Amino acid sequence: MTDTQRRMKSGSRLERVLRSGRFAVTAELNPPDSADPGAVYDAALVLAEVADAINATDASGANVHMSSVAICALLTRAGYEPVLQIACRDRNRIAIQGDLLGAAAMGVRNVLCLTGDDVTAGDQPQAKRAFDFDSIQLLRTARIMRDKGMFLSGRRLDVRPKLFLGAASNPFVQPYDWRPKRLAKKIEAGADFIQTQYCFDVPRFQKFMQQVRDMGLHKRVYILVGVGPLRSDRAAEFIRTKVPGVEIPDEIVERLRKTPTEKKQEEGKRICIEIIQQVREIEGVAGVHVMAYRQEELVADIIEEARLLPRRKRQDVPRKTEGEQEMLEQRASTARTEQ
């Protein structure tokens, strides 16, 4: 057993990548509004080529889609490495602990613990909010289950869920000085890795990371910076006014506005690549988390053009060989016909 393996908490591939010091790439899967498992496999296929792990969102923006637990279960069946997102908005502590066990049983090794966007952000604002836990209490509970082998009530588990625990951070909204402190609190609660909100404001992020380094937090947690391509200035305007917590500086919107319509998407991609290259140089950044909502086909290009691939040791990357790829596609299509 190598030293890294001995220290591993979860047996997660993402954990292994991060511990080895390689720059990690995770990507967000756009969950289908469908009962067709094939839709999940189609969405995963374009991401798996370049991503060390795939995030399955939990009704983000409070819009219902296929559940994150189910998506993750489908992904592990096909040999992919999912990150299960769990929000506190829809489930109380009883449901959440059950989901953690169930997910681990399905082979899920990474969990991202979130507060969740409010119900008012989605298309069913009449719903009742749960928020029985907050994200920090959720994190701590997951850690108790993993490290202590019990439920919150103290009742013993027969087998512990081996999970690599993640949390979100949004350095781009107020109160700015509180954000690193909140990060410290999340580490104390149990966070092993962090995926941030979309980073469009690199100077702001640099300031945040300066504080993070001053507090020594970058040595205690792996930080993956959230990035993503903007399709156009109109999309940017929509996102920054309608999606909670996403800040896009005027310069970026302006740059897209000045670009001719047919080149806007390309320009959005360029901006994303530039941001990746900038944040990559910041000390304490362990990887990027690509969220390319409805532009998933761009993710592989972005990663390649940001030159993140050549520096990744191929043999360790869960990149599928041609044979495996074929098998997966086949599996995806049988899953669809079985339905």
**Candidate segments 141-149, 263-271, 277-285, 326-334, binder of other proteins by CB under 8 A:** 141-149
Residue from the set 126, 174, 261, 337 that interacts with other proteins by CB under 8 A? 174
Q: Is 101 in the site for other proteins (CB under 8 A)?
A: no
Site string for other proteins, 207-226 (x = CB under 8 A): --------------------
CB nearer other proteins, residue 69 or residue 167: 167
Please state the closest distance from residue 91 (CB atom) to other proteins, in A: 13
**Dihedral sign (CA 174, 178, 180, 183):** negative
Distance, CA of 112 to CA of 14 (rounded, Å): 12
Site size for other proteins (CB under 8 A): 49
Residue 76 or 115 having the CB closest to other proteins: 115
With CB under 8 A as the contact rule, which of the stretches 105-113, 139-147, 256-264, 265-273 interacts with other proteins? 139-147
> Which strand (E) or helix (H) includes residue 285?
strand 285-290
Helix (H, G, I), strand (E, B) or coil at 59: coil
CB-CB contact of 14 with 316 (8 Å): no
Residues numbered 38-77 forming contacts with other proteins, rule: CB under 8 A: none
Name the residue nearer to other proteins (CB basis): 37 or 228: 228
Tokens of 26: 């995770």
> Residue 126 burial by CB count (10 A; 0-12/13-18/19+): exposed, middle or buried?
exposed
Instruction: Decide whether 57 or 169 has the Cβ nearer to other proteins.
Output: 169
Segment near other proteins (CB under 8 A), from 74-82, 100-108, 178-186, 277-285?
178-186
Instruction: Confirm if 261 and 235 have CB atoms less than 8 A apart.
Output: no
> Judged by CB, which is closer to other proteins: 290, or 300?
290
Quote helix, strand, coil % in the chain, to nearest 5.
50, 15, 40
What type of residue sits at position 207? K
Residue 293 interacts with other proteins (CB under 8 A)? no
DSSP code per residue over 154-173: SPBPSS----EEEEEE-TTS
Beta carbon of residue 339, minimum distance to other proteins (angstroms, whole number): 36
Among 65-73, 166-174, 278-286, 324-332, which window interacts with other proteins (CB under 8 A)? 166-174
Buried-state track 44-53, b at ≥16 Cβ within 10 A, e below 16? bbbbbbbbbb
What does the alpha-carbon distance between residue 149 and residue 109 come to, in Å, rounded to a whole number? 16
**9 part of the interface to other proteins, by CB under 8 A:** yes
133 binding other proteins? (CB under 8 A): yes
Any idea what DSSP says for residue 49? T
Binding site for other proteins (CB under 8 A): 9, 88-89, 93, 115-118, 120-121, 129, 131-137, 140-141, 143-144, 147-148, 150-155, 168-170, 173-175, 177-178, 181-182, 184-185, 188-190, 197, 244-245, 247
